Amino acid sequence: MTASEKIALVPGICADPFFADCAAVFEEYAGKAFGVGYCRKETEGGIVLKRDPALPEEGYRLTVAEGGVTLLAAEKKGMHNGLADLLDRIEKDGDSLLAAPCDLTESPDCPWRGLMVDLARQWHPLPYLLQYVDLCWKNRASRLQLHFTDFQSFTLPMKAFPKLATEGRSYTPEEIGTLVDYAESRGIVLVPEVDVPGHTSQFFAKYPEIFGTAGVLPASDEVFDALRTIFSEVADMFPHSPWIHIGGDEAAIGEWEKCGRTKAYMKEHGIADIHEMYAEYIRIVTDMVLSLGRTPIVWEGFRKEYDDRIDKRTVVVAWESFYQLAPDLAEAGFTLINCSWKPLYIVTGRVSWSPEEIASLDPWQWDHWMASSPAKDRGIRIDRKYPVLGEQICAWGDVIAGWENWEDGIKLEMQLVAERLPALCGKLWDLGF
Ligand code: ACM
């Protein structure tokens, strides 16, 4: 299509009051992309945003025609998706803004078009988090999981346990508020993660009297009370987040054999061994999250013989195809998110897979490169009748955490994500079957 066949757009935007904040966000991004200021009134050739309750929550209808652009949506998330699509279609030609004519009605096939960023191994100052929200918006991603805690740091502010926040690499309450408002005004759902009972050295470094004695959080009423307080603070900090991720990966549960408090707890509750204790831990913490009115998410980790004791509202992230395989989790009744190591993991500076490999993964399929995974070489596939919400790219900071210039590390991470997120979101938007 030549430039003359495209429609010349006028930088005006007129929104139903329900979509006023969507219009403001579009103005901001369009201003940055094209150096053009959008006026906020009905303008011949401009953009009109209207409400159409018949469209699905994330859907929109976009019409670009002589006379202007009309964008219809039922909900703000649908309008944000439509505006991101529109922004992508606009090009600048001299002083003109052009877009090809179209009339399309869109909605995504998969609700979970996710990105996870590891904030605990590599400290990310707030402006980088806001840029990740921008990246999600531009790609019509829907969820941004934030891995706030791990061995290296605990990056959330806590009122009841103030020493937990790692000095010099934790967010202030005001920064979390800014992040929450920024994501909410862009329709991006934040998924906060506090990883327990493993990856918790910060807990026992700062409060050994409560969390100490082992390389994994002990099982004890005192620890569970503390975790109830911590997750309740997380829920308060992230009021718009329907999901809270409790971690649950790679816990060094062998340490419980040496932990008097955990052994006493197991005896008191008739728990036979550490694998049952681990499943019980996940049950207790996921129940805490449910009692806060949020849906718990957990990394794949508990054994299948204990599936019955975990509430089936829990969403399981199948990532390593090692502890329990997706077919068993699905058959047990869990809803899944696909984070197949290959091709969805990025360990910046060490490993990542191409956008093409990401685009060709089916959400009901797991591929792996880890030698001990049963998915290695042959992959794992489950029937499409099972609920898989979608997929998520996970950007880990293990390697860049060791780099002298941390900003170079984050910039490389952001570049790797920016190259891959379009492939993930594009595919999950329209699976083509
Ligand atoms: C993980 O990669 N440890 C979830």
Summarised one tens digit per residue, pLDDT across range 147-183 is: 999 999 999 999 999 999 999 999 999 999 999 999 9
Q: How far is the CA of 249 from the centre of ligand 1 (A)?
A: 6
Average pLDDT over residues 325-331: 97
pLDDT in the model for residue 53: 98
Q: Are residues 117 and 98 in the same domain?
A: no
304-330 average pLDDT score: 96
For 44-76, the pLDDT digits (tens) are: 889 999 999 999 999 999 999 998 999 999 999
Range of the domain at 81: 3-106
Atom number in ligand 1 closest to CA 394: 2
State which amino acid sits at residue 333.
G
Shortest-distance atom of ligand 1 to CA 250: 3
Of 249, 342, 345, 348, best ligand 1 pocket probe by most atoms within 8 Å of the beta carbon: 249
- Position 384 confidence tier, pLDDT thresholds 50, 70, 90: very high
Q: Which atom of ligand 1 is nearest to the CA of 319?
A: 4
Measuring CA to CA, which residue among 114, 252, 262, 83 is closest to residue 188? Answer: 114
Model confidence at 226: pLDDT above 70 = yes
Is residue 271 located within the same domain as residue 370? Answer: yes
Encoding tokens for residue 62?
């976009």
Residues 302, 278: Cα–Cα separation, whole Å: 7
302-317: average pLDDT: 97
The verdict on 258 and 297 lying in the same domain is yes
Q: pLDDT, tens digit, for every residue of 342-358?
A: 999 999 999 999 999 99
Q: Which of 57, 89, 106 is the last residue of a domain?
A: 106
Please report the atom of ligand 1 found closest to the CA of residue 345. Answer: 2
Domain termination site, one of 106, 137, 166: 106
For residue 134, give both structure tokens.
């921008």
For 218-328, strand residue ranges (E) read: 243-247, 295-299, 315-318
Q: Are residues 207 and 83 in the same domain?
A: no
Same domain, 211 and 192: yes
Q: Are strands 47-51 and 13-15 parallel, antiparallel or unpaired?
A: parallel
- Which of 151, 193, 195, 299 to mutate to test ligand 1, by most ligand atoms within 8 A of the CB atom? 299
CA distance 104 to 71: 10
Bridge partners of residue 61, in order along the sequence? 72, 105
Q: How many domains are contained in the chain?
A: 2
Domain CATH number, residue 122? 3.20.20.80
Expressed in angstroms and rounded, the spacing between residue 311 Cα and the centre of ligand 1 is 22
Checking if the pLDDT of 269 tops 80, the result is yes
pLDDT at 184 over 70: yes
- Token pair recorded at residue 120: 């605990």
Task: For a ligand 1 pocket test, name from 320, 340, 348, 398 the mutation site with the most ligand atoms within 8 angstroms of its C-beta.
Answer: 320
Q: What is the pLDDT of residue 39?
A: 86
| Backbone torsions φ then ψ of 420, nearest 5 degrees | -100, -30
Please check whether residues 178 and 294 belong to one and the same domain. yes
| Protein residue closest via CA to atom 1 of ligand 1 | 249
pLDDT at 377 over 90: no
pLDDT at 403 > cutoff 80: yes
Query: pLDDT band for position 3 (50/70/90)?
Result: low
Distance 89 CA to ligand 1 centre (A): 36
- Cα 317 to ligand 1 centroid, rounded to whole Å: 10
Pocket of ligand 1 (CB under 6 A): 249-250, 299, 319
Please give the share of the chain, as a percent, with pLDDT higher than 90: 93
Across the chain, what does the average pLDDT equal?
A: 96
Q: Give the end of a domain, one of 60, 85, 106.
A: 106
- Label residues 294-306 b or e (16+ Cβ within 10 Å = b): bbbbbbbbbeeeb
- Give yes or no: residues 281 and 406 share one domain: yes
More confident position, 214 or 90: 90
Could you tell me the CATH number of the domain that includes residue 100?
Answer: 3.30.379.10
Domain match, 327 and 414 both: yes
Do residues 117 and 93 share a domain? no
User: What's the gap in Å between 394 CA and the centre of ligand 1?
Assistant: 9
Distance 353 CA to ligand 1 centre (A): 17
pLDDT recorded at residue 386: 98
Distance 246 CA to ligand 1 centre (A): 12
- The least confident of 81-95, 205-219, 225-239, 339-353 is 205-219
The pLDDT-based confidence of 133 (bands split at 50, 70, 90) is very high
pLDDT (0 to 100) of residue 401: 94
Q: How many angstroms does the Cα of residue 327 sit away from the middle of ligand 1? A: 19
Q: Does residue 206 sit in the same domain as residue 102?
A: no
Tokens (6 digits) for 187: 């329709």
Enter the tokens of residue 185.
Answer: 């005004």
* Spacing, Cα 52 to ligand 1 middle (Å): 41
Q: Does 43 score more than 90 pLDDT? A: no
pLDDT at 378: 86
Whether residue 381 sits in one domain with residue 348: yes
Q: Residue 219 C-alpha to ligand 1 middle, in angstroms? A: 22
Atom 3 in ligand 1: which residue has the minimum CA distance? Answer: 249
Candidate of 116, 195, 319, 393 to mutate for ligand 1, largest count of ligand atoms within 8 Å of Cβ: 319
pLDDT of residue 372: 87
Same domain, 212 and 274: yes
